Amino acid sequence: MSTIKHLVIILFAGAMCGAACAEPEASSKVRLRAVLHDPMKPFVEMYVTGPSGALERLNLAMEGLTEAQTVTLPKGVLLLYSSATVDATKPLANLLASVVVPETVKQAIVFILPSNEPEKLPYKLMVLNDSTAAFPRGESRVINMTRMPLAVRAGEHALEIAPGKLVAVPRVTKLNALNQAQTSFYRKTDTEWLLLAERPMQYTPTLRNIFLVYLMPNVEEPQIRTLVDTSAPTSITPAAGTATKPPVPVAARPH
């Protein structure tokens, strides 16, 4: 049995044990927003461990991010299931994906990607710290989901992005009268950088742009998906007796 499978069985057993036998440090919670990025299957029902320890449906949308929900991480691991009921004797049968969430991350965006590897779980996960300290308003993030070197030029910033990596784009300040700057993406060949796409993008102190660069089956050129996060920052530790408004879902603008 592989290490990950053994770990999942242990985690599932602990989750089913309930509050009576759980240790205080056995699990943690995170405010989670999710993006399913599967061009061939754009919507799938998925389930996560909710605040009570029971499985509940993960908030997903056909396009863009969703409202945040509180998710329990057994021993710091985010587990995604295909059903709200899991056979305790076969916990792996319904498991879609798993990832360790760093202990310091209390707000996160998880990107759900098809693994395309039959011997592994159906999906793989990428976690982005969603706190305004780690991802300030006005900044952007580019995620290279391909196996080729890429580059982005956003206003005065020019950055390379290694395969499978994320790069932080600082706030763009060289803007036109509409708060826009030309944003261009490139892929590297053996001898030069070739332009993939370019368009004017809006950059303001209240927006966060997330660019996903990916490959479609049987398509050689990478594609770019743009998520524009317009949600207001939310506190994860509201004062007693106060309520916080849920964040507004973001818009998605494909190139």
> Of 131, 159, 191, at which residue does a domain stop?
131
- Determine which helix (DSSP H) or strand (DSSP E) holds 27, and give its type and residue range: strand 27-36
What does the pLDDT read at residue 2? 52
Let me know whether 116 and 158 are in one domain.
no
What does the pLDDT read at residue 236? 44
Let me know whether 94 and 2 are in one domain.
yes
What does the pLDDT read at residue 232? 66
> Of 62, 96, 131, at which residue does a domain stop?
131
Nearest to 226 by CA among 242, 244, 202, 245: 202
Let me know whether 122 and 227 are in one domain.
no
What does the pLDDT read at residue 40? 85
The rounded distance, in Å, linking the Cα atoms of 141 and 98 is: 23
What does the pLDDT read at residue 6? 43
Let me know whether 182 and 242 are in one domain.
yes
- Determine which helix (DSSP H) or strand (DSSP E) holds 78, and give its type and residue range: strand 77-81
Residue ranges making up the domain that contains 122: 1-131
Q: Tell me if residue 127 falls in helix, strand or coil.
A: strand
What does the pLDDT read at residue 63? 80
pTM of the model: 0.80
What does the pLDDT read at residue 37? 92
The rounded distance, in Å, linking the Cα atoms of 235 and 244 is: 7
> Of 131, 151, 181, at which residue does a domain stop?
131
Q: Strand (E) positions, 102-179? A: 107-114, 123-129, 140-144, 150-154, 157-161, 166-169
Let me know whether 110 and 123 are in one domain.
yes
Let me know whether 146 and 172 are in one domain.
yes
Find out whether 111 and 126 touch, Cβ atoms under 8 Å.
yes
On the 0-12 / 13-18 / 19+ scale of CB atoms within 10 A, 40 is exposed
Let me know whether 110 and 182 are in one domain.
no
Beta strand pairing call for 180-188 and 193-202: antiparallel
Let me know whether 3 and 95 are in one domain.
yes
Q: What is the mean pLDDT of each run of 10 residues along the chain (255 residues)?
A: 47 43 67 93 92 94 87 96 87 91 96 86 95 96 95 97 96 96 95 94 95 90 93 51 40 44
Let me know whether 158 and 67 are in one domain.
no
Let me know whether 113 and 174 are in one domain.
no
Let me know whether 31 and 94 are in one domain.
yes
Let me know whether 137 and 82 are in one domain.
no
Cα distances (angstroms) measured from residue 34 to each of 71, 100, 124, 162: 11, 15, 13, 23
The total number of structural domains that make up the chain: 2
